[in-house]
Amino acid sequence: MARTSGPETRDRLIRAAEELFAAQGVHGAQLRDIVSRAGQANPSAVQYHFGSRAGLLDAVMAGRQARTESVLAPLLTAAPDETHALVGALVTAEASELRTDRGRRCLRISAQLSHESGVRARTPHPTLAGTGYWRLIERIADRLAADGLPEPLLLERLDLALTVVGAAMADRARQYLDGTEPLTGEGLFLADLVETTTALLRAAQPEQAHLPRKDPS
């Protein structure tokens, strides 16, 4: 095998990680299998180039994020501060990753991480600080607060909404990667995901929200 340059090795490792993290999970995939699939003989190639599994995962997600951010930027500028429009911008930006196998794999990976965004603590994961994605989340949060949703419910719902969008996109991506026939055309799928996610966020508050907490904790 010909020797490869450092940047080329790095890119090969990232692409191999995308395949195995998507198929076997970000915790399940074995680093030695990623190294092997990247055509590297040195078993510590991940440590050398990325420091750790977490560093490799951050590198994978940085590439995915750069692509989505470029799609999201003009949508964020155009969208009014209205939940349906903001969710529409999110879904449209995420859907751009459905166009390539690489993006599809990344959608399958980021769905595994949707609870790590930092939404519940309203403090972005370090890789999300300063991004359009985080500004979008903040704008939805502000809109829901203005609509009268109390902060704890608002944060739990936002976390759930990101999980829903992530899971729906990852499942669609899996169908495309596997060659499974989807139940709906992509336009209808995306439009319905905007409707259902918006409805989830804007659902009526439960009656308990107006009562003191009953549980002893």
Contact footprint for a second copy (CB under 8 A): 24-25, 27-29, 115, 120, 152-153, 155-157, 159-160, 163-164, 167-168, 171, 183-189, 191-192, 194-209, 213-215, 217
CA–CA gap between residue 48 and residue 44 (Å, rounded)? 6
Shortest distance, position 18 Cβ to a second copy, whole Å: 17
Shortest distance, position 176 Cβ to a second copy, whole Å: 11
Nearer Cβ to a second copy (65/112): 112
Nearer Cβ to a second copy (12/169): 169
Residues with Cβ within 8 Å of residue 152, at least 6 apart in sequence: none
The residue to which tokens 């940085």 are assigned? 62
Nearer Cβ to a second copy (3/215): 215
The residue to which tokens 């939940």 are assigned? 83
What's the token pair of residue 156?
């739990």
Shortest distance, position 171 Cβ to a second copy, whole Å: 6
User: Are 159 and 115 spatial neighbours (Cβ–Cβ below 8 Å)?
Assistant: yes
Shortest distance, position 164 Cβ to a second copy, whole Å: 6
Q: What is the three-class DSSP state of 70?
A: helix
Q: How many C-beta neighbours within 10 Å does residue 3 have?
A: 6
Nearer Cβ to a second copy (12/21): 21
